[in-house]
Chains A and B, each alone.
Chain A
Amino acid sequence: MSDMVIRVDELSKRYRLGAIGRQSFTDALRRRFLRQTGASGEPKEATSHSSQEFWALQKISFELKAGEVLGVIGGNGAGKSTLLKILSRITEPSSGRALIRGRVGSLLEVGTGFHPELTGRDNIFMSGTILGMRRKEIKDRFDEIVAFSGIEAFIDTPVKRYSSGMYVRLAFAVAAHLEPEILIVDEVLAVGDAEFQKRCLGKMEDVASHGRTVLFVSHNMAAVSRLCSSCLYLKEGQLRMMGGVEATLHSYLSEQRSQTEQARYVHPEEQDEQGPHVLQAWLRNDTESPAANLNSQQPFYLDLLLHTGETNVSLVLSILLKDELDRRLSTKEYRCIELPVGEHSQQRAVSLKFPPDLLFKGNFSFDIVLHIPNQQIFQHLKRCCSFEILEFSEQSAAYNNRDVGIFQIHPEALEQPPCFRPSVEKPSE
């Protein structure tokens, strides 16, 4: 009980929609005047107008222990940012309460409190104190921060002369040397290059491994699954699920999927397209009907019916295999002209067979692209055929169903590797 660092109790946040907040003085006067004189008609309208409410958060309750890394996930407008804003005290809740024990450091943007006219040195102090550090703490760590940022030479230059890369590096160096008991991070990873994102993730792992608590909002499911020890799923302002990362992510992703309907794509009839496009695409196993759940030990097929129009020699069909987190796993290209002709010469019909034991358990999808490479993209269907690979091989079961990878690669076990043969001398370097 004593290691509880965050306790959130029925937290709700209401926003008023409409003109509230942008009203001018005359509006307010008029409303007051109408209310006082009891004039009919308009005041009623005014009240109904102002009662348009929107609950960004509804009665959220959860608890968090020290050392936990909580991933907060959910679609756009689910209330993730609102939750972080309340917990980092930027705004107050409409009802409910939250108890936070320990110093909170929030990283809701990179370079908070930087002033363009000030030098890098001044900004380290400025940003550091704004983020809650004492001046002495910054002084003690100053050299470390500068070394971490790698911009020693420019430390006395105003930051407005920095390149955006230098700016971000310095800003992050400051943030990385915060030592709060609770770190709140929001989509910071969305900015910056891959190198920066890696450092950011590394920092968060570091913070968590020191027994501190991290709250992390992200759309990057890969990062969430890697970093977090538990996960909170918000949907339309309500707490949908909180628990283990895998289970929560799975529930979130499968709900996302079911919203967009899968396994089979049919070209919408009302859309009358002339150029090359996909008429139908569906996944199936050895039977003939579409199936979204596939056995990892059996082959599966992607059947395609394409409208290619007048024969174009350079038209290419690309099949992109993507994982659950929308990362591209592989790409295969076919020249359309080489594909079997369908009902008539303007169509192509093909069945692509994928061998058994190709993928491990997980959710995948295909992107289908019709294009002339480097010239024109006629159609790019994103995540149009989604499927789930079920069933583990014994190998993965041995790992307690956890992260065994994506592709099943089965290297052949050969006898006697040449370099280890006792009779043969090792080749000298």
Chain B
Amino acid sequence: MIAPEQQADPAPTVLIEANQAWWKLNIPELWNYRDLLFLLVKRDLTAVYKQTVLGPFWFILQPLLTSVVFSIIFGNVAQIDVGETPHFVFYMSGLIFWNYFQGILNHAASSLTGNSSLLSKVYFPRLIIPLSGVFSHFMHFALNLVTFLGFYLWYSLQGADLEPNRWLFAVPLLILQTAMLGLGAGLWVASLTVTYRDLRFALPFLIQLGMYATPIVYPASLVVTERYKTILWLNPMTSIVETGRTAFIGQGDIQLSLLGQSWGITLLILLSGIFVFNRVQRSFIDTL
């Protein structure tokens, strides 16, 4: 009875039903809201800097300062062996990927509870908010990458031991994987935070823990114990950071099987994250 009418009628027909299947994703609808996605990204990029003096420079400064601090503490004080690579380049090459991941994760994690007043008043595909974080943080990442490349060139000209190689072609894939992983993890946290508010307090700690479980402040080659090595490579960020370092510096552990494993885990986290989020977003307003 409904189907033939639907064809005659150009207006979209929406069925509102209880307990819709968790795997039902409305991709065309998401596409219809692409303008909103664009504006949210724009808002994220402009509203944050209002009434700051340095504006977007903060997003360049943050990883720079962290790299300097890491170089001093882990490089000079703790004297972690990073080979012949200049400390600064070593730390920053890992940090820019980690910052991108963490930016998306934080943005997505607060997408439901942080926007509850808006989400309780109007409907739009909720996935738009975490997605906007992927793009707005990509802009920050791009800024960081350019800064990094600047220092990279400068160190190269100084004759530092840097060996760019064909792995550089894999860098766009690494960026994509970072985005997918950040989004997937963020969607999980967002969904769980709705019921378990504890996560909001645990998240900063978990992120810090994650950073130490990723070879950011040390090279992966430093981990030799078989057990720890397995755990380290189960973390998909490990392969991203290591591959990135290999591409720019020419030193790093890469095994194709481990890269495959990392992509598998990334896809699993992303897809499960999307579905869990999709399930939770439908009625999360009731639990606020």
**CB of A225 closer than 8 Å to a CB of B:** no
**CB of B222 closer than 8 Å to a CB of A:** no
**CB of A68 closer than 8 Å to a CB of B:** no
**CB of A376 closer than 8 Å to a CB of B:** no
Q: State whether B11 touches A129 (Cβ < 8 A).
A: no
Known A-B contacts A89-B14, A94-B18; the reply to A115 vs B43 at CB < 8 A is yes
Q: State whether B43 touches A130 (Cβ < 8 A).
A: no
The residue on A at minimum CB distance from B199 is A25
**CB of A202 closer than 8 Å to a CB of B:** no
The residue on A at minimum CB distance from B1 is A1
**CB of B257 closer than 8 Å to a CB of A:** no
Known A-B contacts A109-B121, A126-B39, A131-B122; the reply to A2 vs B9 at CB < 8 A is yes
Closest chain B CB from A370 CB (angstroms): 43
Contact flags B1-25 to A (C-beta < 8 A → 1, else 0): 0100100110111111111100000
Main secondary structure of the interface of B (DSSP, over half): mixed
Closest chain A CB from B168 CB (angstroms): 37
Q: Which residues of A contact B198 (CB under 8 A)?
A: 24-26
**CB of B120 closer than 8 Å to a CB of A:** yes
- Which residues, 129 to 159 on A, are CB-close (under 8 Å) to B? 129-132, 134-135, 158
Total interface residues on B, CB under 8 Å, equals 43
Q: State whether A102 touches B12 (Cβ < 8 A).
A: yes
The residue on B at minimum CB distance from A11 is B16
**CB of B286 closer than 8 Å to a CB of A:** yes
Q: State whether B124 touches A132 (Cβ < 8 A).
A: yes
Q: State whether A99 touches B14 (Cβ < 8 A).
A: yes
CA distance A93 to B18 in the complex (A): 5
Closest chain B CB from A9 CB (angstroms): 9
Q: State whether B286 touches A21 (Cβ < 8 A).
A: yes
**CB of B118 closer than 8 Å to a CB of A:** yes
Closest chain B CB from A68 CB (angstroms): 16
Our pick among A90, A98, A118, A158 for the contact of B43 (Cβ within 8 Å) is A118
**CB of A87 closer than 8 Å to a CB of B:** yes
Given contacts A88-B122, A181-B11, 5 further A-B pairs with CB under 8 A are A2-B8, A91-B282, A92-B19, A104-B14, A129-B36
List 26 A–B pairs whose Cβ atoms lie within 8 Å, in order of A's numbering. A1-B5, A20-B287, A21-B286, A23-B196, A24-B196, A25-B198, A87-B16, A89-B14, A90-B119, A90-B285, A91-B286, A94-B18, A95-B18, A96-B18, A98-B15, A98-B16, A99-B15, A100-B13, A100-B14, A101-B9, A103-B11, A106-B121, A108-B122, A115-B47, A117-B47, A122-B46
Interface residues of A (CB under 8 A from B): 1-2, 12, 15, 20-26, 28, 85-104, 106, 108-109, 112-113, 115, 117-118, 122, 125-126, 129-132, 134-135, 158, 181
